[in-house]
Chain A
Amino acid sequence: MSLSRTEMMGQYKSCMSKRVLIFLGLALAILILGSIAVNLGSADLSIRDVSVAILAKFLPDHFESTRYANTIVWGLRLDRILMGIISGMGLAIAGAAMQGILKNPLASEFTLGVSSAAGFGAALAIVLGAGFAGGEYLVIGNSFIFTLIASFTVYGLAKYKGITPETLILAGIAIMYLFSAMTSFLQYVGHAEQVQEVVFWMMGSLGKSSWEKVGMISAILVVCLPYLVIKSWDINALGAGDETAKSLGVNVERTRVISMMLVSFITAGIICFTGTIGFVGLVAPHITRMVIGGDHRFLLPGSALVGALLLLGADTAARTLLAPVILPVGIMTSFLGVPFFVYLFMKRRKEFW
């Protein structure tokens, strides 16, 4: 007995609504985790103090907060939480898009050598004090610019042989080793405290969050994400092979190059503030893919939510587990993400890539 048309459409539609429900669940989880995170910290504030401090900002006539609580909540915790959410979203989307356009499950937003380039930029600023911007923006400017330099170099090298996933990945590996070697050299000649600062930077941290930075990252995401979202169909088509994508009307090379540049821009815009936070961009898309499948129309927003949850969770754990010591969040993302990832990986029988 074959399936009737209504049954088939019903199955399809219920599969779609299941995805939307999962998204709502994830958004709710982020909200709950955020509410928990804002109440955790070494400053001794009660839930009431925190709630009043938040409400006082919106309804100053009805609630009155202490200056102390206001500083802790608005100046130290909320900006950091938002920074975690928005960076997690950006890194995860960047990773998902990169895996899609390179058709490679091991790809991430760092595949094209951007993390080692950003690390080199930071090391250059920290060890030699040399860079493109001054003052507070020395390290940030350097890592941002060097990330883009790496991307353009990878593009240039790959362009010479034709833009394919293979040429991009190989050129990316070459650039990654070049910048790692240069960073190692700087660490070799640098002083102990400089080397420590470089190492700490490369572990990634949300410790230097501010509302200004949250705003800048949001602006970058607002500019870059629409293209990737609109091109979801084309990224799907790329997954079926370049030839099939072309036959479906996709301008394969242009889609790949523009997406790659936007991914680099997003990644640069985030890690220049946070240092190289690894793992989120690699694993959040995989976790999402295992649960809702590989359709980029859903994979990109899904990865964003999972990435936000993962990074916020990791940062909350990192600043509370050994409080008052705050661990680098880059360490914590792996500690938290790996068990969950392995669980899904072992449980799921279907092919997910």
Chain B
Amino acid sequence: MVNITIKSLTFGYNGSRILDGLDLVVEDSEVLGLVGPNGSGKTTLIKCIDKILKPKGSILIDGRDIEKVSRTELAKSLGYVPQSSSTPLATTVFDTVLMGRRPHISWRVSDSDLEKVADILELLHLEDLAMRDFSQLSGGQKQKVLIARALAQEPEVLLLDEPTSSLDMKHQLEVMETIASLVKDREISAVMALHDLNLACMFVDKLAILKGGKIFAAGKPADLLNAQNIRDVYGVEAVVMNNLDRPYIVPLRSLNEGTS
């Protein structure tokens, strides 16, 4: 079980700042949803946490600065799930998931590695696809395989970059249910960038709303998602209803506040 403490994180390309002194804490065993408009820094934040990008500021995992942790060590605590659309792979599903064992193996694959891969494939109901080529799968299947690969790392935190983008309604729910139950069963945490606020409300324990590279607000979805915040962050006029004890957002129209 780990917690992640992020302090005054700043990252940018050629002078433009994507993250601008961001602070955030991710607690044990929680699903944290990162929401916010395009370009607010959700994906960048996830990549910084996984040391894919090198920001200024500090990220501490259980008090240890990730700069001082080797990549392989980090890969044993953090599992990264990229957007499936960006991942072409000419290998079978089994081998793709086996690749997640990379931080734990040198060259030879032990029987216990194979068993672990088989466990995960069964857990995510992917056993029928095991010997299929990754490139032949549908979007939802690919997303699940990428989650399976991250799980094979046996991480304590899953980092997911828009895991439901380009999926239909059923697959969106399936993927989110999978993640939520993994977090509960394996006592891990998950940090995921999301666009769909209503989907987020169903599954996350905590929301962090990003705007302009900073945390605009963080807390329980019900406390944050109100008409005023949505107007301030997204520039959208919306009605927030209470539906089945969850906030439910109905967008009405976009506002051109800057020009009016």
A342 at the interface (CB under 8 A from B): no
Taking CB atoms and an 8 Å cut-off, the chain A residues in 1-30 that contact chain B are 2-5, 8-9, 11-12, 15
By the criterion CB–CB under 8 Å, are A251 and B71 in contact? Answer: yes
Chain B residue nearest to A294 (CB atoms) is B90
With A9-B118, A239-B89, A353-B90 in contact, is A249–B127 under 8 Å at CB?
no
Please judge, given known A-B contacts A241-B82, A293-B92, whether A8 and B130 are in contact too, CB under 8 Å. Answer: yes
Pick from A8, A230, A247, A295: contact of B75, CB under 8 Å: A247
Is A136 at the interface (CB under 8 A from chain B)? no
A76 contacts partner chain B, Cβ-Cβ < 8 Å: no
Choose one: A2, A234, A239, A247; the contact of B50 (CB below 8 Å). Answer: A247
**A contact residues around B78 at 8 Å (CB):** 247
Residues of chain A with a CB closer than 8 A to B14's CB: none
> In whole angstroms, how far apart are the Cα atoms of A239 and B125 in the complex?
25
Q: Tell me if A236 counts as interface (CB < 8 A to partner B).
A: yes
Q: Please, which residues of chain A bring their CB within 8 A of the CB of B71?
A: 246, 249-251
With A2-B127, A234-B102 as contacts: A350 and B87 at CB distance below 8 Å = no
The verdict on A243 contacting chain B, using a C-beta distance below 8 Å, is yes
A236 touches B125 (CB 8 A): no
Q: From A289, which residue of chain B is reached at the shortest CB distance?
A: B90
**Does B52 lie at the interface of the complex (its beta carbon under 8 Å from any beta carbon of A)?**
yes
Instruction: Flag A260-287 by CB within 8 Å of B: 1 or 0 each.
Output: 0000000000000000000000000000
Nearest residue, chain A, Cβ from B121: A8
Q: In the complex, how many angstroms separate the beta carbon of B110 from the nearest chain A beta carbon? A: 13
**Is A297 positioned at the interface, with any CB of B under 8 Å from its CB?**
yes
Provide the residues of chain B in CB contact with A5, threshold 8 Å.
118, 122, 127
Q: Give a binary string over B63-98; 1 marks a CB under 8 Å from any A CB, 0 the rest.
A: 000000011111110111010001101111011100
Does A237 interact with chain B (Cβ within 8 Å)?
A: yes
Cβ of A249 and Cβ of B128 under 8 Å apart?
A: no
Separation in Å of the B135 CB from the closest CB of chain A?
5
Residues on the A chain within 8 Å of B47, using CB: 243
Q: With A and B bound together, what is the CA distance between A328 and B248 in angstroms? A: 74
The answer to whether the Cβ of A212 comes within 8 Å of any Cβ in the partner chain is no
Which interface residue of A11, A244, A294, A353 has the most chain B CB atoms within 10 A?
Answer: A244
- Cβ–Cβ contact B107 & A249, under 8 A: no
CB pair B102 A15 closer than 8 Å: no
* Contacts beyond the supplied A2-B127, A239-B91, A244-B80: 7 A-B pairs with Cβ under 8 Å: A2-B128, A229-B107, A240-B99, A247-B52, A247-B159, A250-B71, A351-B90
Residue A258 CB within 8 A of the other chain? no
CB atoms of A240 and B87 under 8 A apart: yes
Contacts of B135 in A (CB 8 A): 351
Contact digits for B118-141, partner A, Cβ 8 Å, 1 yes 0 no: 100110010110110101100000
Name B129's closest neighbour in chain A (CB-CB): A3
**11 A-B Cβ contacts within 8 A?**
A8-B127, A12-B114, A232-B107, A233-B105, A239-B90, A243-B47, A246-B52, A247-B79, A293-B90, A350-B136, A351-B90
Chain B positions within 8 Å of A, measured between CB atoms, are: 47, 50-52, 70-76, 78-80, 82, 86-87, 89-92, 94-96, 99-100, 102-103, 105-107, 114, 118, 121-122, 125, 127-128, 130-131, 133, 135-136, 153, 159
Task: Give chain B nearest CB distance to A294 CB in angstroms.
Answer: 4
Question: Do residues B107 and A297 form an inter-chain contact, with CB atoms below 8 A?
Answer: yes
In the complex, whether A248 has a CB less than 8 A from a CB of chain B is: yes
Interface Cβ pair total, 8 Å cutoff: 105
Complex CA distance for A79 and B110, rounded to whole angstroms: 40
B102 touches A8 (CB 8 A): no
Closest to A13 in B: B114
Please indicate the chain B residues that have their CB under 8 angstroms from the CB of A295 in the complex: 91, 95
With the chains together, A52 CA to B233 CA distance in Å? 87
**Are A249 and B102 touching (Cβ within 8 A)?**
yes
* Residue of A5, A230, A240 with highest tally of chain B CB at under 10 A: A240
A294 close to B91 (CB less than 8 A): yes
| Those 9 A-B pairs whose CB atoms lie nearest each other, nearest first | A249-B75, A247-B80, A249-B72, A294-B90, A249-B103, A249-B71, A248-B102, A3-B127, A351-B135
Question: In the complex, are the beta carbons of B136 and A236 less than 8 A apart?
Answer: no
Pairwise interchain contact B122-A230, C-beta atoms closer than 8 A? no
Whether the Cβ atoms of A248 and B103 lie closer than 8 Å is yes
Determine if A11 and B118 form an interchain contact, defined as CB atoms under 8 angstroms apart: no
A352 contacts chain B at the CB level, 8 A cutoff? yes
Known contacts A234-B102, A250-B102; is-contact A12 B74 (Cβ 8 Å): no
Q: Which residue of B lies closest to A239 (CB)?
A: B89
- Residues in B with CB closer than 8 Å to A297 are 107
Is there an interface contact between A233 and B136, defined as CB atoms closer than 8 Å? no
Measured between beta carbons, the chain A residues less than 8 angstroms from B131 are: 8, 11-12, 15
Contact between chains at A248 and B75 (CB < 8 Å) = yes
- Tell me if B107 and A233 are in contact (CB < 8 A): yes
Question: When chains A and B are docked, how far (Å) is the Cα of A233 from the Cα of B80?
Answer: 17
Q: Which residues 41-83 of A have a CB within 8 angstroms of B?
A: none
Is A246 touching B51 in the complex (CB atoms < 8 A)? yes
- A4–B121 CA distance with the chains assembled, in angstroms: 11
Q: Which residues of A contact B107 (CB under 8 A)?
A: 229-230, 232-233, 297
Instruction: Tell me, in angstroms, the Cα distance from A85 to B206 when the chains sit together.
Output: 62
Contact indicator per residue, chain A 192-235, by CB within 8 Å of chain B (1) or not (0): 00000000000000000000000000000000000001101110
